[in-house]
A = this chain, B = another copy of it.
Amino acid sequence: MKQSQLIFKTKKENILDESINANLLIKASFVKKLMSGVYSYLPLGNMVLRNIESIIREEMNKLGSQEILMPALHPKEPWEKTKRWELKEMFKIRDKEYGLGWTHEEIVVPLAKEAAFSKKDFPFSLYQIQTKFRNELRAKSGVLRGIEFLMKDLYSFHVLEKDLDVFYEKVKKSYFNIFKKCGLEKKTFLTLASGGTFSKYSHEFQTITEAGEDQIYLCEKCSLAINKEIIKQEKYQCPKCKNKKLTVKKAIEVGNIFKLYDKYTKPFNFKISDKYVFMGCYGLGISRLMGAIVEICHDEKGIIWPEQISPFNIHLISIGKVKKQADKLYQVLQKKGNKVLYDDRDKNTGEKLVEADLIGLPIRIIISEKTLQKNCIEIKKRDEKTIKLQKYNR
């Protein structure tokens, strides 16, 4: 794409909004804030969301899960069955007869019940990528904590408890594959959380960042963390290796997984051979992942997008009177399968480079009269300082 055609330009002034992710994403024109906790995703931001979605879809499909799309508008009845209608998270509309879904157990269990009649229909799982709403008064961490947000939610159903256990472990691996592709694997830790009345633990995936609203106790030996809620019950030690030297870190929860057993299959009387079906649920915040990536992957100049998340992989910048050669290089790079943002604008070099650093594509290529005199182009990775000259036959 030619940058001259990009409708939303980067902003010159610094944004002093509420969080690093919001400030950088707004300044680089990936998002615009509509109100607290509610954002519009501009063309570059929309591309980032789509890239995160593809990574997640690929992993979900590998699990053998099937994608569906459930509605956001929910009737009152199923939520009364699970006794969650009165929870404060729910926005209510039309004389409080409908609610806006902040999770989908109440909708997916009746769906699943209709699909599976006998043991041979199990195990199976369903997922969706869908917009959720959550009634929170305090929403002030950019796209990390929205009252409207994009989520992937996965639900699995099992006749045998051991099948739930097996699937649960598979999802853990899947999630780490996703975090790796999102550039978050080094900062993201499996974290023990309360399992409610049914399980000993549930698991969160916590990404360490100063922007995090959660606090975790990290065992650096095991790479396992314990969340604040249950650290007392765990006697301030790692339940795996008994290490007592835990490091306290601020973190943001990017995903959570939960063995629900029959918590939600019971109210809907979802049984096979007189036994309630076992269930697991597995959430992952897509817009929140975008925010977490920016919190982790940035420097003082701007964002540093991981390759698979970046809206384009190459930022081609022409400097000076090299339009013909730059146009050609743009074609060549695209033919090789690259997604290229081509800064074809007639602007001063400094400004172009500052904008490129702010937008944060993985590879910057400069073509100028100076580089062409040496039959070269200049290549720099966004996360490295070295500039390399590479031979280029025009």
A241 at the interface (CB under 8 A from B): no
Contacts of A107 in B (CB 8 A): 34, 40
Contacts of A71 in B (CB 8 A): 34, 38-40, 148
CB atoms of B72 and A131 under 8 A apart: yes
A42 at the interface (CB under 8 A from B): yes
A193 at the interface (CB under 8 A from B): no
* Contact residues on A (Cβ < 8 Å of other chain), bracket: 35 or more
A41 at the interface (CB under 8 A from B): yes
Contact of A32 among B49, B66, B67, B114 (CB under 8 A): B114
CB atoms of B9 and A111 under 8 A apart: no
Residues 36-84 (chain A) with a chain B CB within 8 angstroms: 38-43, 45-46, 49, 64, 66-75
Q: CB-nearest residue of chain B relative to A104?
A: B40
A124 at the interface (CB under 8 A from B): yes
CB atoms of B72 and A72 under 8 A apart: yes
Q: Once bound together, how far apart are the Cα atoms of A64 and B91, in whole Å?
A: 37
CB atoms of A148 and B73 under 8 A apart: yes
Q: Once bound together, how far apart are the Cα atoms of A5 and B133, in whole Å?
A: 32
Q: CB-nearest residue of chain B relative to A157?
A: B7
A135 at the interface (CB under 8 A from B): yes
Which chain A residues have a beta carbon within 8 Å of chain B's beta carbons? 5-9, 32, 34-35, 38-43, 45-46, 49, 64, 66-75, 91-94, 98, 100, 107, 111, 114-116, 121, 124, 126, 131, 133, 135, 147-148
Show 23 A/B contacts (Cβ-Cβ < 8 Å), sorted by A: A6-B66, A7-B66, A7-B121, A34-B71, A34-B74, A34-B107, A38-B75, A40-B71, A41-B68, A42-B68, A43-B67, A43-B68, A45-B69, A46-B67, A46-B68, A72-B72, A72-B131, A72-B133, A73-B147, A91-B94, A91-B98, A94-B135, A131-B131
